[in-house]
Structure 1
Amino acid sequence: MSKTIKVKNPATGELIQEVTRHTVEEINRALENGQKGFEKWAKVNAHERSRLLKAWSQKIQENKEEIAKVMTMENGKPLQESIGEVNYATSYIDWYAEEAVRIYGRTIPASSETKRITVSRQPIGQVAAITPWNFPAAMMTRKAAPALAAGCSFIVKAAEETPLTTMTLVELAYEAGIPKDAIQYVNGRGSVVGQLFTDSPFVRKITFTGSTPIGKALIKGSADTVKHVTMELGGHAPLIIAEDADLDYAVGQTIISKYRNAGQTCVCVNRILVHENVVDAFAEKFTAAVNKLKVGNGLEAGTDVGPIINEKGYDKIVAQVNDAIEKGAEVLTGNKYEADKEQGYFFVYPTVLKNVDASMDIMQEETFGPIAPITSFKTLEEAVEIANNTPYGLAAYFFTNDYRTGTYLHDHLDFGIIGWNDGAPSAAHAPFGGMKESGLGREGGTEGIEPYLETKYLSVGNLLN
């Protein structure tokens, strides 16, 4: 195995930087240091932890342009999206800096006059995180901020495609005054580092964002030491357009959800379900909007859709599109590619498919690419049945101006995150997470700090009456 990881620009195939691949011994040493760091960091008072988190956020904002450029170079997303992600990343730090001083206990009325019962919260221990390439800043801070706020130490392994953003954020944490053994990063192959994390006696919690199969493996690996786990896994988001929906507004919101980061997000729209009476009108308006999107290098001004991260992702997208076409789907726009496997860059132009059905792979598997399949439905019950017909339950969207339709869809869709006339519902102060095979636990909001805390109660007896 190579001693370095070659980080390349997915828009050009150009080598950006080589970073050191940590050895097993180095990772185990970092985990041991993290345990020592936890013992010290847990004793830092909540107000000081809050202050240091705010200082970290400020450092990131002071270096926002530089971080965004690094992110675009290693990830490929348009520069404006990267800037937006940096802001999103610091919103989590800002939120949990405030939550650090709101970790409350309580007193419970005892059943005896001579007893008193109190409940307290304490940090769970060292937290090990594995983060994805598609949001290298936000997915890291969404885990690190609540962990540090709670008093846990934190160690993170970033995706091999995008380690530079994470490394930069950790170095800025040090500059802000957060101790080096309280927050660390390691670089290496996911399967190797993941097993070291799950096997380590110094790790009390695993938090992961990525595919469902890898999440399941981490859950199994954590069982022997009964580690706590938070899993934000795969999705297959439906978007429902009701007959009464504002089509122009729905088109704009669908564009935002579907084509952000070239469709390489776990909550992006994967299946567009449109009422049969408006499907033609929606498809026409949507296709016209998609045709205005500019594909290119994320560093170039005006780019809306960047490259696909790697050859594996590219091949999956092409295979899904070809399968749909072979089974009768109509291409309204797209099905155009610019790729060079030898050089190492892959572009898929925004594609709209109509007349898709359940027999097609694209309706059964998460795409992770800029492909929008459109199908129609007759009744809300049918739309819900199609939407829920998946093992995943992360995000869903619907568009209607009828509160009865909206309430019905909210109540019957089995997804953890739902956007009603909203294609971008994520926020630091709201709980993010899925149902079914899309994960365990929540990140964000007041719920997001709970997985990093243990509950302890004290019963005091023999009190004076």
Structure 2
Amino acid sequence: MASSKPVLTTISPITQKPIHTRDELTSDQIPALVEASKAAFAKFKASHDLAARQELVAKALDLLESQADDLARDLTEQMGRPIQYCAGEIKTAVRRGRYMLKVSSDVLKDTPGDEEAGFTRYIRKEALGTILVIFAWNYPYLILVNSLVPALLAGNTLILKPSPQTPTIPETFLHVLEQVGLPKNVVQVAHCGSPDTLATLIATPGINSVTFTGSVAGGLATQQAAAKRVIPVGLELGGNDPAYIRPDVDIKWAAGEIVDGAVFNSGQSCCSIERVYVHQDVYDKFVDAVVEVVNGYKLGDPFSGSSHLGPVISLKSAQNIRAHIEEALRSGAKSLTPDVFKEGEALGETFVRPEILVDVNHSMRVMKEETFGPVIPIQKVTSDEEAISLMNDSDLGLTASIWTRDIATGEKLSESVEAGTVFVNRADYPSPDLAWTGWKNSGRGQTLSKFGFDQFVRLKNFHLKQAPTS
């Protein structure tokens, strides 16, 4: 009897029941997939100049935005975020795409060399070819647009490998692009759950660049798979992002912002606030204010329209989050979470309540590792210097935030923080005009901003000398 095709199954984080299946990419399908992309690249390069590519992207973004409210349900179903927040992700992705569209003409234009009589010199940015985009489930539209839009504008073809948890998102984007006239195979979707198959795809000649968004372990595996090839590998990995509350801050306002930055999307953001340091002069007042804010949150059915938090992505994730919490409690931490989440927790094991932990320290995993859940550990500090030292005591460095009325001091302290982005009085917000980049084990390379095109182009120099006429 012939063996059946391998199938990927998406399990609902809400009900724990299957909701989607997709045929899985197999190793023997990889050559045809890559060859189709290579052939499409040659035709796309010949038929679509930058202006034509810009027109395609602009139309696709308009169409995607018009469907945002209808597409929100898919996001809630596949990753559990409350439905009232999901259209916002799609609309934010469109705004990011439009920013990159706006700067693309300037970014991708030729750069002239110095003037010299008898010579013409310039640098051109040319497409690489086929880009493999491997992206996570937690903000799939936002993560995808970070690579897809600049790579497409630069003239590349793409193979999109989504998380098995959110299989419909690249399919939706591909359908939108095809509706506005994108040629066949310029963008393809490959559903792949096998690490070995993915490693084979990365190692295949014809894949000219890889971008990966996900865990540190996944990023290292991607890097290892590409190790025998000379291709760019962009990595956007985890975060253990700290916040520091200075004594001059408006306590009630800061508490609301910190809770939102820590537990929005059930804390499942690479740049969510994972640990909070509070100056001893305002520590007790701040903790009380955080408890009051959390008391107003609702954990519940993400389709209800009234829940602030839904389930986390999986049983495995819920177990990991609770293990971090339980270890901290055994080590002397104390939970101050108000007793208002029992109804939500009764919906299932993946419905993890927001947890406020005090009496924490850096011997605990909840402070040293990425928990990736709705947990707010709060540690008292005695000075700015102690706060900065603790903020930097991590092997991850994606973002960090400082909360103060004194902007000048906040900016000065930011210079000592080891992170790709440092906010003052804000958190959990990748701005499209700034480079999204990680320090330490949080990654390498960058997306967004004018620098977000760099990993999708190569430089070609033209050096022209006037020949003698006699």
Alignment of 1:64-143 (within 5 A): 64-102=68-106, 103-109=108-114, 113-143=117-147
Unaligned runs of 5+ in 1: none
Are residues 1:28 and 2:31 paired? yes
The corresponding residue for 2:356 is 352
Aligned residues: 462
- Whether the 8 Å CA contact 1:311–1:346 is kept in 2: the answer is yes
Match of 1:279 among 283, 286, 302: 283
The corresponding residue for 1:13 is 16
The corresponding residue for 1:164 is 168
The corresponding residue for 2:187 is 183
Distance (Å, rounded) in 2 between the aligned partners of 1:6 and 1:378: 50
- Whether the 8 Å CA contact 2:7–2:23 is kept in 1: the answer is yes
The corresponding residue for 1:304 is 308
- Range that drifts further, 114-123 or 284-293: 114-123
- Whether the 8 Å CA contact 1:11–1:345 is kept in 2: the answer is no
Are residues 1:220 and 2:224 paired? yes
**TM superposition shift of 1:419:** 1.5
Where 2:40 maps in the other structure, the secondary structure is: helix
Match of 1:209 among 201, 210, 213: 213
The corresponding residue for 2:257 is 253
Distance (Å, rounded) in 2 between the aligned partners of 1:26 and 1:226: 23
Distance (Å, rounded) in 2 between the aligned partners of 1:186 and 1:314: 28
Residues 338-376 of structure 1 deviation map (CA, whole Å, 9 limit, x = unaligned):
779xx9851111110011011111011100000100001
Q: TM (normalized to structure 1)?
A: 0.95
Cα 1:204–1:165 change in 2 (3 A) is same
**TM superposition shift of 1:116:** 2.5
Where 2:220 maps in the other structure, the secondary structure is: helix
Unaligned runs of 5+ in 2: none
Q: TM (normalized to structure 2)?
A: 0.94
The corresponding residue for 1:430 is 434
**TM superposition shift of 1:288:** 0.8
The corresponding residue for 1:459 is 463
Where 2:376 maps in the other structure, the secondary structure is: strand
Distance (Å, rounded) in 1 between the aligned partners of 2:459 and 2:228: 22
Match of 1:450 among 444, 450, 454: 454
- Whether the 8 Å CA contact 1:311–1:344 is kept in 2: the answer is no
Where 1:223 maps in the other structure, the secondary structure is: coil
Distance (Å, rounded) in 2 between the aligned partners of 1:85 and 1:193: 30
Where 1:61 maps in the other structure, the secondary structure is: helix
**TM superposition shift of 1:193:** 4.2
Distance (Å, rounded) in 2 between the aligned partners of 1:339 and 1:300: 15
Distance (Å, rounded) in 2 between the aligned partners of 1:25 and 1:2: 12
- Whether the 8 Å CA contact 1:298–1:305 is kept in 2: the answer is yes
The corresponding residue for 1:377 is 381
Cα 1:190–1:291 change in 2 (3 A) is farther
Distance (Å, rounded) in 1 between the aligned partners of 2:333 and 2:190: 45
**TM superposition shift of 1:334:** 5.6
The corresponding residue for 2:239 is 235
Amino acid at match of 1:380: D
Distance (Å, rounded) in 1 between the aligned partners of 2:214 and 2:20: 24
Match of 1:37 among 36, 40, 50: 40
- Whether the 8 Å CA contact 1:428–1:444 is kept in 2: the answer is yes
- Whether the 8 Å CA contact 1:116–1:461 is kept in 2: the answer is yes
Distance (Å, rounded) in 2 between the aligned partners of 1:86 and 1:462: 52
Runs ≥4 in structure 1, deviation > 6 angstroms? 335-340
The corresponding residue for 1:400 is 404
RMSD of the TM alignment (CA)? Answer: 1.9
**TM superposition shift of 1:255:** 2.0
Are residues 1:267 and 2:271 paired? yes
Match of 2:445 among 441, 454, 460: 441
Amino acid at match of 2:114: P
- Identical positions, percent: 26
Where 1:398 maps in the other structure, the secondary structure is: strand
**TM superposition shift of 1:464:** 5.0
Amino acid at match of 2:91: N
**TM superposition shift of 1:404:** 3.8
Residues 14-55 of structure 1 deviation map (CA, whole Å, 9 limit, x = unaligned):
322222222223333222111111122233111110000011
Distance (Å, rounded) in 2 between the aligned partners of 1:345 and 1:183: 38
- Whether the 8 Å CA contact 2:273–2:428 is kept in 1: the answer is no
**TM superposition shift of 1:7:** 1.8
**TM superposition shift of 1:429:** 2.6
